């Protein structure tokens, strides 16, 4: 991302936050007929400032309580913004708007704890092979380690032949992982005929990238960095993300065309792990299946509408005339606030047999 694009994005985000905060503050002042509006606005701004300050520490060694204040506080703020927007369309009493905000927040926090299983059929093999895809676990983020036992149990319940992780296993800062030994042991308990393979996402980079890769090795995860591997009846290719948040360890993304030209000379279908579905146009029918994540399907409505609008396929299964089959997962975890509204944490089960 160049400096001009970065500045433009920052300006848009700042303007959006300013307008959203103004909307929420005005709605609360009017709804509760607050007389000392100046004092209220000052207190409101201080509260938002505290939440933002804590939220900025979610990917650090800061105490877990600070991260929780930031993550849950941002979630509550998003719910309050949604309730204020609803009150612009449907006149609501002040108490009902606040009740709606808390209801949305509680629903979103609870819903993010559930892990759903979605099934896809991609007929690229003559025999039956069950591939389980997960992405965006974001270990180190708030509630990520609490979800892990349920996630691993749900994976094993599918009786996979192969497990693939399409990036963002870690949430940028490995030091934020509270119990890496326990997390690694949980991943080692995955029961898969052909093992567990992963590519790196944009969050699997940065100052602790070496520690992240060491964790994956300890967890029994085979990491493919611009590399091919013959795995049972398929050839698997793992890519590096093109826009990582920091650097990878002694590697970077190569030109896709050059890499595909080096495909092993065999008759096995090629399955590609590439974190961001924005790369779909880079692949053609030389690849049989592209597995992605990254989008979280927007995580919180109406983010799902935005994801659908800006991607060829931001979620689900897609097959274009000149593309491989594509499966994009909404992710098994969350980023930022540990909440989901209108989307699910999921495991994707891809049946590869005809």
Kindly state whether residues 106 and 126 are assigned to the same domain.
Answer: no
Alpha-carbon distance 286 to 260, whole Å?
8
Question: pLDDT digit string (tens) for 17-40?
Answer: 777 777 787 777 777 777 777 787
Q: pLDDT class for 48, splitting at 50, 70, 90? A: confident
* Residue spans of alpha helices (H) in 56-172: 64-89, 94-111, 144-157
Structure tokens at 90: 């449907």
Residue 184 has pLDDT above 90, yes or no: yes
The proportion of the chain whose per-residue pLDDT surpasses 70, expressed as a percent, equals 98
| Cβ count within 10 A of residue 117 | 14
301 & 203 share domain: yes
Cα separation of 255 and 283, whole Å? 11
In this structure, the answer to whether residues 144 and 20 fall within a common structural domain is no
| 47 and 122 assigned to the same domain | no
Residue 271 contacts residue 288 (beta carbons within 8 Å): yes
| 250 and 336 assigned to the same domain | yes
- In the block, which residue shows the tokens 């896809």? 120
Better pLDDT: 57 or 236: 236
Q: Determine the average pLDDT of the residues in 337-345.
A: 97
pLDDT in tens, 129-172: 999 999 999 999 999 999 999 999 999 999 999 999 999 999 98
Q: Would you state the pLDDT for residue 94?
A: 80
The per-residue pLDDT for 85 is 86
Which of 111, 143, 173 delimits the end of a domain? 111
| 120 in the same domain as 45 | no
Average pLDDT over the chain, rounded to whole? 92
- The residue among 85, 111, 137 that closes a domain is 111
The confidence band for 176, taking pLDDT boundaries of 50, 70 and 90, is very high
For Cα atoms 260, 263, 264, give the angle at the middle one, nearest 5 degrees. 180
Q: What does the pLDDT average to over 284-300?
A: 97
* pLDDT reading at 231 higher than 90: yes
Pair (104, 160) in one structural domain: no
Query: Given this model, what pLDDT does residue 12 score?
Result: 77
At 235 the three-state DSSP class reads strand
Return the closest-CA partner of residue 341 out of 150, 82, 136, 132. 82
Distance CA 165, CA 180 (A): 18
The reply to whether 95 and 122 lie within a common domain is no
**77 contacts 43 by C-beta, under 8 angstroms:** no
- Looking at residues 83-110, what average pLDDT do you find? 90
Q: How many domains does the chain have?
A: 2
- What pLDDT was estimated at residue 119? 97
10-19, 140-149, 204-213, 297-306: which has the minimum mean pLDDT? 10-19
What pLDDT is stored for residue 3 in this prediction? Answer: 67
Query: Which is more confident, 41 or 315?
Result: 315
168/79 same-domain check: no
- Taking CA atoms, 265 is separated from 22, 100, 260, 268, 270, in Å, by 61, 59, 11, 9, 11
Query: Pick from 111, 135, 158: which residue ends a domain?
Result: 111
Closest to 73 in 3D by CA, of 111, 107, 105: 105
> Cα separation of 99 and 88, whole Å?
16
Confidence at residue 214, expressed as pLDDT on a 0 to 100 scale: 97
List the one residue out of 236, 237, 271, 234 whose CA is nearest residue 254.
Answer: 237
Q: Is 338 exposed, middle or buried (0-12, 13-18, 19+ CB in 10 A)?
A: buried
Whether residue 131 sits in one domain with residue 68: no
pLDDT at 1 over 60: no
Average pLDDT score over residue span 91-113: 92
Query: Do 160 and 303 share a domain, yes or no?
Result: yes
Residue 124 lies in domain: 116-353
> Residue 93: which pLDDT band, with cuts at 50, 70 and 90?
confident
Question: CATH number, domain at 203?
Answer: 3.60.21.10
**pLDDT(2) > 70:** no
pLDDT score at 259: 96
Pair 79, 144 in one domain: no
Q: What is the per-residue pLDDT across 271-281, written as a single tens digit (0 to 9) for each? A: 999 999 999 99
pLDDT above 90 covers a percentage of the chain that reads 75
Predicted pLDDT at 213: 97
């Amino acid at each position: 991302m160049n400096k001009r694009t970065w500045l433009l994005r920052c300006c848009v985000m700042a303007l959006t936050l300013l307008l959203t905060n103004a909307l929420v503050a005005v709605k609360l002042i009017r709804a509760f007929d607050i007389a000392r509006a100046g004092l209220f606005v000052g207190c409101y701004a201080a509260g938002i400032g505290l939440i933002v300050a804590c939220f900025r520490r979610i990917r650090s060694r800061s105490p877990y309580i600070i991260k929780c204040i930031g993550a849950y506080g941002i979630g509550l703020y998003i719910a309050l913004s949604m309730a204020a927007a609803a009150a612009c369309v449907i006149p609501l009493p002040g108490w009902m708007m606040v009740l709606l905000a808390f209801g949305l927040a509680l629903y979103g926090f609870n819903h993010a704890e559930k892990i759903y299983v979605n099934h896809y059929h991609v007929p690229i093999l003559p025999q039956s092979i069950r591939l389980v895809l997960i992405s965006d676990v974001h270990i180190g983020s708030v509630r990520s380690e609490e979800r892990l036992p349920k996630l691993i149990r749900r994976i094993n319940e599918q009786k996979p032949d192969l497990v693939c992780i399409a990036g963002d296993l870690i949430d940028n800062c490995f030091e934020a992982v509270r119990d890496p030994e326990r997390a690694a042991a949980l991943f080692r308990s995955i029961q898969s005929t052909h093992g567990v393979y992963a590519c790196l996402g944009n969050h699997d980079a940065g100052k602790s990238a070496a520690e992240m890769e060491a964790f994956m090795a300890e967890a029994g995860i085979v990491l493919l960095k611009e590399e091919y591997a013959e795995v049972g009846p398929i050839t698997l290719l793992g890519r590096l993300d093109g826009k990582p948040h920091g650097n990878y360890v002694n590697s970077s993304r190569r030109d896709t065309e050059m890499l595909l030209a080096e495909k092993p000379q065999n008759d096995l279908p090629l399955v590609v792990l590439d974190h961001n579905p924005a790369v779909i146009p880079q692949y053609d029918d030389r690849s049989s299946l592209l597995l992605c994540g990254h989008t979280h399907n927007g995580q919180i409505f109406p983010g799902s509408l935005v994801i659908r609008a800006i991607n060829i396929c931001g979620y689900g299964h897609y097959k274009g005339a000149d593309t491989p089959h594509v499966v994009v997962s909404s992710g098994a975890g969350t980023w930022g606030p540990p909440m989901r509204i209108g989307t699910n944490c999921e495991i994707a089960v891809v049946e590869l047999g005809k």
